[in-house]
Chain A
Amino acid sequence: MNEYIVTINDIKKNVKVISQEKIEIDGREIEVSFQKISPHSITFKYENKVYEVAINKNGKESIRFLVDGWYYDAIARTKLQESAIELQKNISKEKHHTEVKAPMPGLILKIKKKIGDRVELGEPILILEAMKMENDIHSPASGIVKSINFQEGQSVEKNSTIIVIE
């Protein structure tokens, strides 16, 4: 029997996988079955209710589910993995810098600050062009610009750290 912690947005669920047909969730035993339809879709029976679910990888651990028109991002970890992650989170909380990340892939049109400049929370600090729109990116924190990792005219991937504020 294997026990997992599943994180969906901010909700955590304890799930024990007893067998292919039986799980325990919130202390309740549930009969389940799944039928794989394609590498990205299944039909899932939860007790006797039927769900059609689309499934796709979304980042390193996270999986994105689409069921009944709603998206859910879920991460399943063993108990050991879960406590390791919690520990890491506490360490990073002690660092006092904020990263300005690209919320979408795009082209950096303008960076309005230089290293050493003071920025205020909410101040527009760069313009990112994506899919025909110019987007003002606002500073997520007040502080001093510590480093700038890209130049104007460069393309960035989603989640690239463009500026670090300390």
Chain B
Amino acid sequence: MIKKILIANRGEIAHRIIKACRELNITSVAIYSDADKNSLHVRRADEAYLIGNSPANESYLNKEKIINLAKKIGADAIHPGYGFLSENSEFIKMVEDTGIIFIGPSSKSVKLMGGKTDARTLMKKNNVPIVPGTTEPIKNIVDAKKIAKEIGYPIILKAAAGGGGKGMRKIFSEDEFENSYNLAKSEAKKFFSNDEIYIEKFIEHPKHIEVQILGDKHGNYVHLFERECSIQRRHQKVIEEAPSISVDELTRKKITETAIQAAKACNYYNAGTIELLMDENKNFYFLEMNTRLQVEHPVTEMITGIDIVKEQIRIAEGKPLSFSQDEIKIFGHAIECRIYAEDIDNNFAPSTGKINLHRLTSGPGIRIDRGIDVMSDVPIYYDPMLAKVIAWGINREEAIVRMKRALSEYQICGVTTNISLFKWILNQNEFEDGTFDINFLENKFLPLVPNKWRNSDSEELINVVAAIAAIMKNESQDFLSSKNSLGKSSWRDQIYE
């Protein structure tokens, strides 16, 4: 039995894991960097330890420090969350060697699936369809160009050790090849300490569909159906939903069977996700396996009722899965919007600062997983995701109207967020009828940036804002003219604190 879990992560996912620990009566331990001393995950954990300086490689990526701390404080398990060390097989091996339980798959499975080219080879061998491309990393640029020509442009370059859109470049013609290759290589080197790059054919109008699987240490596997994550920008997911509006029963049967086949091929246990590309004819191809908990796991939890994090902990303890495949049904529909600290009209620049207002939305069908609260800092060092708004409805229509309602109620100050982007997306016909693909934002939204996408701005709201701005200005003018009197300080000046 696990008694104490060190959570080797930060932000909303650390907070999420703390909640699971509390429900299981397990002591939760947060680690934090200098920049995160005011973070919500630190406030919510049972114990919290400073791990190092703000840059991730001195804190959340510091394997030795994290393992030594776990030993010192008597943690019997480490949960890695997502990102950071979650898919680092070397780290997982180090944890395994100390006898501490790693809440996730074995280092062997992660290694098998972590090298993307190795994973492609393994999948091919196990009859899982893969996207045409190389199964070997690029050795030299002349050969690579030749292969790209054979596969046919457009192609995509990917970091063999990559993920999250880093070290990834789309190329339309040969003359872009060299520059893009160098950028991809240097990004790959920086983020994954591995600059191997491989080539894949770029599939037109694809959807990103993924299947959540769970496996225990006794060889039992279940799937928790699919998620659709086609609304993306620069390969970062923005909206996810479950189930997918584009997956029919027959396709669902095929992709879930394929996913379990893929998981079995690497002797997988714990929670994992098989990511697939699906074309317009519902052909699907293996993209990669995420050997960890996903950001978007809540939409699956909402439609199945399964608490994936608690299930992860049970599996890590060596218990068999607590349910069988035929006990799991899809109930309703769930959508997740990722709230990022970014300024869309300023080239999506990350927005940093201290949160000084955070009013959560609630009500029927709404769940918020968040890493911030009032007085939290949003530093430059880490991913700019602040929170996830998840809406559940009895069907997709209800999930969408609940999401719209919830987003209108959400209030946050201190950083600029992408909330308005969702207001735009959720009102598009392509979103409503499900015809969007993974290029939707790039093709339909980006041409409207900056500012042209705000067509839905109403005269009414403009007048409201103008009225408030003028009244505030008027107050500050009054204050300036009566500076020497004992008048109370102006309201506008308080906001300016």
Contact = CB atoms under 8 A, between A and B. Distances in A.
Interface of A: 2, 4, 6, 8-9, 11, 13, 15-17, 20, 23, 25-26, 30, 32, 34, 36, 38-42, 44, 46, 49, 51-58, 63-72, 74-78, 103-106, 130-134, 136, 158
A76 B304 CA distance: 51
Interface stretch (B144-152, B210-218, B280-288, B488-496): B488-496
Given A68-B461, A103-B347, A132-B191, 7 more contacts: A17-B470, A39-B356, A58-B416, A67-B461, A69-B404, A71-B420, A72-B465
A105 B350 contact: yes
Interface in B357-414: 357, 359, 380, 382-384, 404, 407-414
A25 B359 CA distance: 30
16 contacts: A6-B469, A8-B466, A23-B467, A39-B356, A40-B356, A41-B359, A46-B464, A53-B468, A56-B413, A65-B469, A68-B408, A69-B420, A74-B465, A78-B473, A103-B347, A133-B187
A78 B477 CA distance: 9
Contact of A25 (B164, B190, B466): B466
Nearest to B423: A69
Contact of B468 (A38, A55, A56, A105): A55
A29 to B, nearest CB: 12
Top 8 nearest A-B pairs by Cβ distance? A104-B349, A76-B473, A15-B470, A40-B357, A13-B466, A56-B413, A74-B469, A6-B466
B411 A41 contact: yes
Contacts of A4: 469-470, 473-474
B347 A53 contact: no
Contact of B462 (A8, A17, A57, A130): A8
B451 interface: yes
B469 A63 contact: yes
Contacts of B352: 105
A133 B469 contact: no
A40 B468 CA distance: 13
Contacts of A25: 463, 466-467
A46 to B, nearest CB: 5
Interface in B410-460: 410-414, 416, 419-420, 422-423, 451, 454, 456-457, 460
Contact of A17 (B165, B454, B474, B497): B474
A70 to B, nearest CB: 5
A66 B350 contact: no
Contacts of A158: 349
A22 to B, nearest CB: 10
Contacts of A44: 464, 467-468
B462 A72 contact: yes
B186 interface: yes
A25 B496 CA distance: 25
Contacts of A69: 404, 407-408, 410, 419-420, 422-423
Nearest to A17: B474
Given A17-B474, A69-B408, A69-B422, A56 B356 contact: yes
Contacts of A67: 461, 464-465
Say which size band chain B's interface belongs to: 35 or more
Interface string B185-211: 011001100000000000000000000
A15 B410 CA distance: 28
Contacts of B166: 132-133
Interface SS of A by simple majority: strand
Most chain B Cβ neighbours within 10 Å, of A17, A40, A53: A40
B234 interface: yes
B467 A46 contact: yes
Given A66-B419, A134-B186, A75 B411 contact: no
Nearest to B405: A69
B74 to A, nearest CB: 33
B412 A66 contact: yes
Nearest to A46: B464
A146 B134 CA distance: 45
B465 A34 contact: no
Given A4-B474, A15-B470, A57 B495 contact: yes
Contacts of A17: 470-471, 474
A54 B464 contact: no
B183 interface: yes
B480 to A, nearest CB: 11
Contacts of A26: 463
Contacts of B470: 4, 6, 15-17, 23, 76
Contact of B380 (A38, A57, A130, A133): A130
A38 to B, nearest CB: 6
A52 B465 CA distance: 11
B407 A8 contact: no
A111 to B, nearest CB: 15
B26 interface: no
Contacts of B473: 4, 6, 76-78
B495 A40 contact: yes
B127 interface: no
A2 B416 contact: no
